[in-house]
Structure 1
Amino acid sequence: MSSSDQPSRHRALLALALVPMLMLGGCFRPMLADPGNGSPGLKARLAAISIDPVDDRVGQQVRNRLSFNLTGGAEAPPARYRLVLNTTNNSDSALVNALSNTPEIDTVTVTVDYTLLDPMTGKVVLKAKEFARKSYNSGLQRFATTRALRDAQNDAAEVLADQIRLRLATWLADHP
């Protein structure tokens, strides 16, 4: 192949790569973008989800982070949906020291069963379950282990809030 054929071949490959991008460029719309037709966008519909109070500390962490994720810290509009969270968590020893028979690494698993309800009718529109696992060092110092457990639970709560928000956004995008 001669050197004069190289530039034309590169141009042909570039044109071949650009054609699909140009054809599909108008088909893509970001999920959280406003629709432009005056109807509320997905961000506004997510913000209109009210979250019921929860009883435990880990559930409250999930609720607080999810509430911020849904509203972006702004005041929430009137509720179009109601979200009920049920949180459980447990801790298991993942790694045990063979010499002292004491746990060195523990894993906390936080599980959230959640239900999205229509507040007018009380009808269940979405029911799902998410979980997150986080490992933490557990040693012989009792207070350090307690703090590490709490940090792992908080980290798992943050992951769960992101997962739930994504699931709710996906559902709302399919059900305008």
Structure 2
Amino acid sequence: MSSNFQSSKLLRRSLLLGAALLLAGCQARPLYLDNDGQMRQTLASIAFSEAKDRVGLETRNRLIFLTGGGAQPTTPQYRVDLTVSSSVEGVLLDRAADRPNSGRAVAIGSFTLTRISDGTVLKTGRRQSVALFDYPQQEYARLRSVRDAETRAARELAELVYADLATALGR
């Protein structure tokens, strides 16, 4: 009995020591934010392609705000070719009126991050965001709720693309 107790005690200690050694290698630091502002300057040197529609423009404007908040850089180091498409559909039908009473707006963005100096493609990706909304009875309110949902989807899409860009440039 005593040897069983000793071996289980030794096993627990060795497991605890192994876990401590594993955790000692872990670091807790931000993924793409640094103290000296180098990452912020790198992100601010990105130029974005022109938008083709309102949802694309919302996404582009939000990305410009997230990467530096100002105008496009005069001498960009990176270029992002961004293509945004969107769709709106009703998902639940009101059987009495035979019209949708709730819907969803989907924004899909494909992007390519390229280093301008040598033309190297650093990252390509495709992201999607969804915003749910209700269809009110009034026509203007219905149009406005669709527009607001598209704007929310575009802003969420910009956040996802920004995270991808920051991760790619942070390596």
SS of equivalent residue, structure 2 residue 119 = coil
1:129 aligns with 2:130: no
Residues 24, 78 of structure 1: alpha-carbon distance in 2 compared, 3 angstrom cutoff:
farther
Which residue pairs with 1:65 in the alignment?
62
Tell me the amino acid that sits aligned with residue 97 of structure 1.
D
Which residue pairs with 2:30 in the alignment?
30
Q: Which runs of 5+ in 2 are unaligned?
A: 1-15
**The one of 93, 96, 105 aligned to 2:93:** 96
Which residue pairs with 2:53 in the alignment?
56
**The one of 149, 153, 175 aligned to 2:146:** 149
Which residue pairs with 1:87 in the alignment?
84
Shift of 1:78: 2.9
Q: Distance in 1 between matches of 2:152 and 2:126?
A: 18
Shift of 1:73: 3.9
| 72-81 vs 134-143, which moves further | 72-81
Task: Tell me the number of residue pairs that the alignment of Structure 1 and Structure 2 aligns.
Answer: 152
Shift of 1:136: 1.3
Q: Distance in 2 between matches of 1:154 and 1:93?
A: 17
Tell me the amino acid that sits aligned with residue 169 of structure 1.
A
Shift of 1:75: 7.2
> Over aligned residues, Cα RMSD in angstroms?
2.6
Shift of 1:173: 1.4
1:110 aligns with 2:101: no
CA deviation map 1:48-96 (0-9, x unaligned): 1111111211100000011000004477473111001101101111110
SS of equivalent residue, structure 1 residue 160 = helix
Q: Percent identity?
A: 29
Residues 123, 150 of structure 1: alpha-carbon distance in 2 compared, 3 angstrom cutoff:
same
Q: Which runs of 5+ in 1 are unaligned?
A: 1-15
1:103/1:139 contact within 8 Å kept: no
Which residue pairs with 1:172 in the alignment?
169
Residues 26, 92 of structure 1: alpha-carbon distance in 2 compared, 3 angstrom cutoff:
closer
SS of equivalent residue, structure 2 residue 103 = strand
**What TM-score, normalized by structure 2, do the two folds share?**
0.78
